[in-house]
Each structure stands twice: as structure tokens, then as C-alpha cells.
Amino acid sequence: MELTAATTGVLLVLAIVLGIAAIGMAGTALAGQRRVRAAYRQFSMGSRDDVLTLLQRHIDEVKRLQEEVLRQRGYADELRELIRRGVSRVGTVRYDAFDDMGGRLSFSVALLDERGDGTILTAINGRTETRTYAKPVAAGDSRHNLSEEEASAIRQAMSLAGRTPLERVKPGRMPARPSA
């Protein structure tokens, strides 16, 4: 069987097209192989270990990091509890305790934690002496009788309750001092 020139030409063109397609597929395969090798180098961090060994190493590292996160959460919870019990609400009222005294040298200061527990300190300034009083405060109230100034200092300190420190300060401004 003899091939005609037209058939030979068609077969030649078909062979060229198939050859070009094969070269394209080979180039694509090489590019894919390069991407896989680059990813493997990054995954292995330069190690020559096999994939299963590397995978196990990464799994162990993730477990270790999860345990560390749990430890840090516990530590953060302990710190939060310490902070809750620290003085974070302060209210101060200055006043003249006696009509014949000026300068607002008497004061009441409420020192409370975020639950409203703490102490109210009052110093009453007279001509010859200053008397100081301390009363316990629980949940923003005291079992002892409170003067209007002491109650005002507690209200001032409690008005900060529920607001974070950043909510108390306007951007670009220092916190205003409480007026007494």
C-alpha cells in the first residue's frame, strides 16, 4: 500500500501537531513538578526526611502549641481574676466640712474594684486637727451610715463601672479630673 502525497502531508501535519502538544504537556508537567518541589521545600524547611516523618513532626508541633495555648488561657484567667480584685474605680469629692473653713481641704475617696467592693476614706479637716475615717464598701454600698459626700464619691466611682478604660478617655485627650 502506497501513501499518496496528500496523505503523507496530512500525517506529517498531524505528527507535528501531536509533537507540539506533547512538548506543551511536558512543559506543564515540569512547571507542576517545580511547584510541588517548591512547596515541599517550604514544608520540609530544608529537611531531607520523607513526607510522613515531616507530617508527624508538624502534627506534634501543633499539639504542643495547642497545649501551650491552653496553659496561656489559664494564666490569662488567673490574671483577669487578680485584676478584678484590684482597685479600678476611684471617685473623689472635695468639700468644706465647716462653714468657717475654706479651701475644700476635706475629702472623701472611694477606692473600689470592678464589682464595687472596697473602701471609702474620708478626711475631715478642721482648724486644729484632721480626722480620718474608713468604711468598707460592698457592691457600691456600705453597712455604715454614709455622708452625702461619701455617697457621692461612691456614685462617681461606680459611674465608671461597665466602661473600659479606653471608653473613659476620648481620643487625643487626657482624662478629665473629677470635679470636686
What beta strand segments (E) does the chain contain? 89-95, 106-112, 118-125, 130-137
Cα–Cα distance measured from residue 72 to residue 110, given in angstroms and rounded to the nearest whole number: 34
**In contact, 146 and 120? CB cutoff 8 Å:** yes
State the average pLDDT over residues 58-87.
Answer: 93
Band of residue 172 on the pLDDT scale cut at 50, 70, 90: very low
pLDDT band with cut points at 50, 70 and 90 for residue 38: confident
pLDDT of residue 48: 76
d(CA 92, CA 177): 9
Q: Which residue carries 499518496 as its cell?
A: 4
Domain range annotation of the chain: 43-84, 89-162
**What local confidence, expressed as pLDDT, does residue 162 receive?**
53
What pLDDT sits at residue 73? Answer: 95
Q: How far is CA 108 from the centre of its chain?
A: 35
Can you tell me the distance from the alpha carbon of 117 to that of 137, in angstroms, rounded to the nearest whole number?
5
What order do you get walking across the sheet with 130-137 strand by strand? 89-95, 106-112, 118-125, 130-137
* Top-confidence residue, 100 or 10: 10
What confidence tens digit (pLDDT) does each residue in 117-153 have?
Answer: 999 999 999 888 999 999 999 999 999 999 999 999 9
- Taking 80 as the threshold, does the pLDDT of residue 61 lie above it? yes
Query: Over 90: is that where the pLDDT of 52 sits?
Result: no
C-alpha triplet 86, 92, 96: angle, nearest 5°: 150
List, for residues 108-121, the tens digit of each pLDDT value. 999 999 889 999 99
- The residue with greater pLDDT, 56 or 180, is 56
The fraction of the chain above a pLDDT of 90, given in percent, is 58
